[in-house]
Amino acid sequence: MVKPKIAPSMLSSDFANLASEAERMLQCGADWLHMDIMDGHFVPNLTIGAPVIESLRKHTKAYLDCHLMVTNPLDYVEPLGKAGASGFTFHVEVSKDNWKELVQLIKSKGMTPGVSLKPGTPIEDVFPLLEDENPVELVLVMTVEPGFGGQKFMPQMMDKVRTLRKKYPSLDIEVDGGLGPSTIDMAAAAGANCIVAGSSVFGASDPAQVISLLRKNVEDSQKTN
């Protein structure tokens, strides 16, 4: 059975205090720290890059789950590998021609390769990356348009999660966007096991309670499915 992983999105943290925010999330029970890397081109927002990952790495041993919302993911592999990123998840929409090279390079730098897809992208587009002899190890299903935290969860994306879970029982399936206590049931029932949550965790008066609720939901759905 795939392990539940709860990954607070550091995009909702106080970036001026990133190290202590990361430590706080780990104390609250986070499994991974989700790092949203945006280039202001693939998405209309600009966030952090390898220098920030490198700085944070000096303060934590945590799994840094990097989500690359960038037009040229290949350019980021080497710097992020050096910086100490753990997971490297690129978007399928911008890697039609070079995903094989990308996956190989990501692995050679000691990172875990993942692929993500925007709401408008059909799930079939990621199948070749899962069926290759050198496959991606995680699929991140976007449940909002990438770019910003605090948006509304799109329940119609759960069809993608269900399709994936049926086909790949032991795959890490991550959902990202609008996840929290009111939407986790749908994602967990569909078969997601990696849960990214930004505003619902950082905006909570008791983030530890939200993290444990998210985890419990995933565990409970796994028992009944």
**Closest chain position to ligand DX5 (CB):** 198
Nearer Cβ to Zn ion (100/154): 154
Q: Name which of Zn ion, ligand DX5, none residue 190 binds, using a CB cut-off of 5 to 8 Å depending on partner kind.
A: none
Q: Name which of ligand DX5, Zn ion, none residue 207 binds, using a CB cut-off of 5 to 8 Å depending on partner kind.
A: none
36 is catalytic: yes
Listed residue (63, 33, 37, 31) closest to 52, CA to CA: 37
Cα distance between residue 45 and residue 147, in whole Å:
6
State the nearest-atom distance from the C-beta of 63 to ligand DX5, in Å.
15
Is 8 among the residues that bind ligand DX5 (CB under 6 A)?
no
Which of the residues 50 through 79 are near Zn ion (CB under 5 A)? 67
Sole binder of ligand DX5 in the list 5, 34, 160, 215 (CB under 6 A): 34
Q: Which stretch binds Zn ion (CB under 5 A): 30-38, 122-130, 156-164, 202-210?
A: 30-38
State the nearest-atom distance from the C-beta of 196 to Zn ion, in Å.
6
**How many of the chain's residues bind ligand DX5 (CB under 6 A)?**
22
Cα distance between residue 143 and residue 174, in whole Å:
10
Which of the residues 72 through 131 are near ligand DX5 (CB under 6 A)? none
Q: Assess contact for 55 and 15: CB atoms under 8 A.
A: no
Is 65 among the residues that bind ligand DX5 (CB under 6 A)?
no
Measured in degrees and rounded to the nearest 5, phi and psi for residue 116 equal -120, 155
Residue 110 burial by Cβ neighbours in a 10 Å radius (0-12, 13-18, 19+): exposed
Amino acid (1-letter code) at residue 134 = N
Sequence-ordered list of residues with C-beta below 8 angstroms from that of 190, at least 6 positions apart, any chain: 158, 159, 161, 162, 165
Cα distance between residue 222 and residue 184, in whole Å:
13
Q: Is 176 annotated as a binding residue?
A: yes
Is 49 among the residues that bind ligand DX5 (CB under 6 A)?
no
